[in-house]
Structure 1
């Protein structure tokens, strides 16, 4: 079924959603406090699967604990069974034809309305759910569940409009044009716990260009993801276009990628899982109707490198934020720091870093003065604490932090380690926690240090260069061209903003398809070139064939 397109429409110019400050006594703090109270009084919530617009309760239940107070859980959710997932895939494929035929302006309007709903009606509910369920402080939840989510949808509509406008040239008597078709089949979106906004983007980017999506959210982000899904439904997403199927990753994903109509994977999560999925998709390649697109963003072992010319205070403050915000549970978080000996002791870098880190308050996110909350759960707490213990056994020195407490919540103190081995465990392997390892290099070995930085880790997601010497900034950025997909000059290696810093990394960090930019939308379209001739052909021969 096709619909008439009776005009050429332009979406409103996007601007980044302003961040609310939540200062004491401000209207937004009052509203957030009320939202937190409402959720805490009503929990635990029940979250169903939603397939073809209908809630499905399988009775196969799991809980989403509250990491600040793990004796409580935010919600109980129904896991999708194989029968439910089959119905979700079949329903998505059935919905595909009408969805892709819907005029672009109508698809765009749904996501623009969803952005406005997230900015207004649902803002504080989203922020509160992300704080409680995923252990984020006010600021971290605001920039994620509110601002970034809103930006993904508003800028996404703008980027798709730009994509559709990219058209070929035509010659006399010919009209050439390109259609950016959705993929044949369904997209599987597998979203992580650490960013509510990523879930909204993993489903939103493919759906904006006419794809249907089966969404498996992370168990530790189920409730906030469910709110995102309900926003899209209220905004007008037709039943079946996005299917919401919480469930065990191995079973849900395995069944989905074994389906002949599996068309694409949109994934954010661990490197190990992504690599396994890539292999599994490869092993299934003869089952598929077309070659699936594989789009993924995984881990990082992100770095700050400080040149002797750097502004020490700025480098210290940027490192504290980059390493410890959201407990280091960002794929972009700084976890290795290279500092010249001339700045480390005599230049005051060490003392400032330790003093500032020691000031950080850690605790329940509902106490707003805490700068850090809990890590996401028991497996994360065990992994982080055991990694610090192994680092100490290797000879690393704990300069500050190192403590942890799991009696009521999964809390880990921000920790700074000092190592003399630039390829040690915590300099090379991802930790995903509030642990920063420092390596002090000799000033005369700047070039060798850059080589070490570039070769130590399998990852290449984010990095930051601190120097006041312009030549150093330019030369270092060029030398480390492949060491990070996002590089920052005199700024921390976290905090990419939609529409400003397209995000993604290379090497083991992912496919670098740059979410938050037009680039991501190419991956979920299959272009068709159309040539139309207006003048008939009078002869099959060419002038060169004449005698």
Structure 2
């Protein structure tokens, strides 16, 4: 694909027994499981090691040490900032076609020889099953790389009108300074995109990965360098979040924040940045996708089987650790017994364990902190007078951080289980009386401060139309008769508003617009030579 071609979504490979991709992945998993690597900071293309290191282990196997991660000191972060500022001087002068070629080659490398390396790193380091890794570290990341080129071309081709004797042009400049990419553990593709989207538009980047995703993120940066990305355009600084961020936002060259993570951290960074506004060369661009309390709302006319499958997949795939995961469900009393029976029957056949065993549907939650947080919600539910565990509810950290898929029945629609983000394999169901459709729509809209994703199930078209209007601001990604997860680049641009972020829609031209600072250029062929206008004569 060239920079002027129309991209297609990367096909999802099946990994069925005996397939070439499965055999290649299994070999890579074996190799990666027996080799502990070092992950240094990367500043101007140079490895920077420190005395402050942490061992990265697989969430599903405490005994499997994957890497030793070197945490960046303040000096290292400041060196990364200097490297980014210096690298951008040349990088921003590259033509769009030259920059695009780098990322398109990266997509081809990921679709080919690097595919199973990134998949294996994501499976082992972030405890994703083969399917969850394939749709993330392969397909979605490839799509981001290819579609962003098409979106950027669309932006650049948007030019103003010119009139006789006057030529007008929009020059899509990079920002004046560097962009700080703060990326999460749960999607390798988000990590890659948050760094690459600003870089495609001519910006340089200081990238702080989540510690638990350091392996896949580090390998992806190696891939980018192989694809021809100049050293210093993206600088990689794993480390303690507060220390790295303090150095970054304290730089007068700070020009933008590309963030995915918790609402509390985004609020903190926004506050720190606002206190330093006079110190920056320009107002920084702040782009963030934060939390969610994503809903599934069923109408009495909903199809039972499709609803139950959507609840299971939407709530429990990747252990519920998706910003979009179904976390609260509203089911009418008339169909709840059937939905419950189908959902619990399916859950009884779900297998949990080591993700290298391809029979498992889910793996472990990411770390000790997440495990304790999720266990706390389940324990408080057990103590509640309004909530009841009807499936799962077990936790075990003896080998890995395992939490069984848990379904809670909650009478109180305003409890913490219905309002607060859990970010784990916990689905809370509130059963409502039939005939209260408009009341329940108001409840869904007003219960949570978040507004990321949501789904409505039903066959009654009028009811769906009412819901779509009533819930217009309740979800930035709204699904009808489908689970609220699985947004595809180029098809469902992703992001939410309210306390879920700035809704700049990753996977569309809207996000890329934030990383350019347009300049208007007007050239007049024959300028006037007299100040007088005709009416004056």
TM-score (norm 2): 0.98
Alignment equivalent of 2:44, drawn from 44, 52, 63? 52
Alignment equivalent of 1:25, drawn from 18, 23, 43? 18
Structure 2 residue 345 is the aligned partner of structure 1 residue 355:
yes
Per-residue CA deviation, residues 16-42 of structure 1 (Å, 9 max, x unaligned), is 110001011111111110000110121
Structure 2 residue 378 is the aligned partner of structure 1 residue 385:
no
Alignment equivalent of 2:333, drawn from 325, 334, 341? 341
1:11 deviation in Å?
2.4
- Within a 5 Å distance, the mapping from 1:148-547 to structure 2 comes to 148-345=140-337, 348-395=338-385, 396-546=387-537
1:394 deviation in Å?
2.0
SS in 1 for 2:528: coil
d(CA) in 2 for partners of 1:439 and 1:310? 16
Partner residue in 1 for 2:108: 116
d(CA) in 2 for partners of 1:357 and 1:533? 70
Structure 2 runs not aligned, ≥5 long: none
Per-residue CA deviation, residues 253-307 of structure 1 (Å, 9 max, x unaligned), is 1110111110000000011101111111111112111111100001100000000
1:72 deviation in Å?
2.6
d(CA) in 1 for partners of 2:81 and 2:294? 37
- Coordinate RMSD, CA, aligned: 0.9
SS in 1 for 2:222: helix
d(CA) in 1 for partners of 2:141 and 2:263? 24
SS in 1 for 2:34: helix
d(CA) in 1 for partners of 2:415 and 2:532? 71
1:13 deviation in Å?
1.7
d(CA) in 1 for partners of 2:3 and 2:393? 54
d(CA) in 2 for partners of 1:75 and 1:450? 48
Per-residue CA deviation, residues 90-124 of structure 1 (Å, 9 max, x unaligned), is 11111111100011111000000000111111100
Per-residue CA deviation, residues 39-91 of structure 1 (Å, 9 max, x unaligned), is 0121x210111111111112221121211111332110111111111111111
SS in 1 for 2:25: helix
1:10 deviation in Å?
4.6
d(CA) in 2 for partners of 1:142 and 1:545? 72
Say how many residue pairs are matched.
Answer: 535
The 8 Å contact of residues 310 and 468 in structure 1, kept in 2 or not, is answered as yes
d(CA) in 1 for partners of 2:161 and 2:93? 25
The 8 Å contact of residues 310 and 482 in structure 2, kept in 1 or not, is answered as yes
1:392 deviation in Å?
2.1
SS in 1 for 2:138: helix
SS in 2 for 1:444: coil
Alignment equivalent of 1:99, drawn from 91, 105, 108? 91
Structure 1 runs not aligned, ≥5 long: 1-8
SS in 2 for 1:70: strand
d(CA) in 2 for partners of 1:439 and 1:109? 51
d(CA) in 1 for partners of 2:243 and 2:529? 61
d(CA) in 2 for partners of 1:245 and 1:220? 13
- Structure 1 10/195 Cα, relative in aligned 2: closer, same or farther at 3 Å? closer
The 8 Å contact of residues 391 and 425 in structure 1, kept in 2 or not, is answered as no
TM-score (norm 1): 0.97
d(CA) in 2 for partners of 1:36 and 1:149? 20
The 8 Å contact of residues 81 and 178 in structure 2, kept in 1 or not, is answered as yes
294-303 vs 527-536, which deviates more? 527-536
d(CA) in 2 for partners of 1:544 and 1:307? 69
d(CA) in 2 for partners of 1:499 and 1:260? 35
